[in-house]
């Protein structure tokens, strides 16, 4: 490749998506990953693309909505160019309701969704049917939304790599020279570098553990039950996640907290009672102090940019993050919400 127009460091979901967006626009792209594709939390197993509740609207929720609405076309193009599956499907989500007060809140949110979601998705209260793939509700009512989607993190990462290369981009495993502006999408390591460079804590890591089961529910909606995400994947597995741990001894070790996830999931969904385990996963997810993605210029470092902090919502935010970062760095169009800028975490 001749000298690249743009270098991206880090092949997690933000780095891969930005590299793809730039390559599809015709830019010469170099993506550098010193460890492995999806080495951090992007190499996990959950892959839930779930929206925030439709109320108390803010820039973060609006950005996420745009990204979730972009996702189907984004991932379809990645699959078409790469020739590989991503596991994406906008299959919706079910959540149980347990009190009349919860029903009233859900109905209020349904009315809000009609406006805030622009008529392109629904949030509604529906009766439970008692089907095996359904969360138990003590009052027989569920929330159903049609905005939630899922993808298979590892399939999606492999497809992005192939799509970037198909459009002439470089994906380098190991060290390589940076050229042009550089976007640092290096997850936890990037947050630690920002903390050191800026002399204050702008982000930290949060450990998560998850379990993968062999159960084919690929056409079914995902579920959110008592804080658990239960996500059926296109390969005939179901992911259960995840914990949120601020203290740990082993960043990639699984323990009794993972056992508890499995017990709760099997209690919540009868269809999973006898599903065998395929894998357990643990890793550290980067969380910005502001709890929003951290996007834009790296303060005091001309030509350096940051795309980080996709805590829990990185896969759902990725299409819009990619669009906004390429607009900023290659087109000079700054559409980064104020609350997402690095300075917002200072």
3-state secondary structure of 145: strand
pLDDT digits (tens, 9 = 90+) for 236-248: 999 999 899 999 9
Spatial separation of the C-alpha atoms in residues 51 and 147, rounded to whole Å: 7
- Report pLDDT for 1: 64
Which CATH number fits the domain 6-92+148-202+289-345, given the four candidates 3.40.50.2300, 2.60.40.290, 3.40.640.10, 3.50.50.60? 3.50.50.60
DSSP per-residue codes, 192-254: HHHHHHHTS--EEEEEEEEEEEE---TTSPEEEETTEEEEE-TTSEEEEE---BS--S-TT--
- Report pLDDT for 270: 86
pTM exceeds 0.95: yes
Strands 228-232 and 222-225: antiparallel
Nearest one of 227, 192, 202, 175 to 30, comparing CA atoms: 175
Spatial separation of the C-alpha atoms in residues 123 and 34, rounded to whole Å: 42
pLDDT digits (tens, 9 = 90+) for 74-89: 999 999 999 999 999 9
For residues 244-256, average pLDDT: 95
Tell the burial category of 285 from Cβ atoms under 10 Å away from its Cβ (0-12, 13-18, 19+): buried
3-state secondary structure of 31: strand
Contact at 8 Å (CB) between 319 and 74? Answer: yes
Spatial separation of the C-alpha atoms in residues 223 and 300, rounded to whole Å: 44
Angle 14-19-24 from CA coordinates, rounded to 5°: 130
- Report pLDDT for 3: 86
- The shares of helix, strand and coil residues in the chain, as percent rounded to the nearest 5, are 35, 25, 40
Whether pLDDT at 235 is above 80: yes
3-state secondary structure of 2: coil
Q: Where are the domains of the chain?
A: 6-92+148-202+289-345
Query: What's the chain's average pLDDT?
Result: 96
Give me the phi and psi of 184, to 5 degrees please.
-95, 110
Q: Which two tokens stand for residue 168?
A: 């002439």
pLDDT digits (tens, 9 = 90+) for 143-178: 999 999 999 999 999 999 999 999 999 999 999 999
- Report pLDDT for 262: 95
Spatial separation of the C-alpha atoms in residues 180 and 183, rounded to whole Å: 10
For residues 16-29, average pLDDT: 98
Spatial separation of the C-alpha atoms in residues 25 and 9, rounded to whole Å: 19
């Amino acid at each position: 490749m001749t000298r690249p127009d743009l270098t991206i460091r880090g092949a997690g979901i933000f780095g891969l998506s930005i590299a793809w967006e730039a390559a599809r626009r015709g830019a010469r792209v170099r993506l550098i990953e010193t460890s492995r594709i999806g080495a951090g939390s992007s190499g996990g197993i959950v892959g839930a693309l779930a929206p925030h509740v439709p109320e108390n609207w803010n820039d973060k929720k609006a950005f996420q909505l745009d990204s979730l609405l972009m996702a189907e076309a984004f991932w379809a193009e990645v699959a078409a160019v790469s020739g590989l599956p991503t596991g994406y499907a906008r299959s919706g989500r079910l959540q149980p309701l347990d009190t009349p007060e919860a029903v009233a809140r859900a109905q209020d949110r349904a009315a809000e969704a009609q406006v805030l979601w622009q008529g392109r998705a629904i949030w509604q209260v529906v009766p439970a049917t008692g089907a095996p793939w359904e969360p138990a509700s003590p009052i027989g009512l569920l929330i159903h939304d049609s905005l939630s989607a899922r993808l298979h993190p590892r399939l999606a990462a492999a497809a992005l790599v192939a799509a970037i290369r198909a459009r002439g981009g470089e994906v380098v495993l190991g060290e390589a020279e940076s050229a042009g502006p550089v976007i640092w999408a290096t997850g936890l390591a990037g947050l630690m570098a920002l903390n050191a460079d800026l002399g204050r804590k702008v982000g930290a890591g949060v450990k998560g553990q998850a379990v993968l089961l062999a159960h084919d529910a690929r056409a079914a909606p995902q579920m959110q039950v008592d804080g658990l995400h239960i996500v059926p994947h296109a390969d005939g597995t179901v992911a259960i996640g995840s914990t949120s741990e601020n203290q740990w001894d082993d960043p990639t070790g699984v323990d009794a907290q993972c056992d508890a996830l499995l017990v709760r999931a099997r209690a919540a969904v009868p269809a999973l009672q006898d599903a065998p385990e395929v894998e357990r996963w643990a890793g550290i997810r980067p969380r910005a102090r502001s709890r929003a993605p951290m996007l834009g210029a790296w303060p005091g470092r001309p030509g350096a940019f940051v795309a980080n902090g996709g805590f829990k919502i990185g896969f759902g935010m990725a299409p819009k993050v990619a669009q906004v970062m390429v607009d900023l760095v290659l087109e000079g169009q700054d559409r980064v919400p104020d609350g997402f800028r690095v300075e917002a975490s200072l």
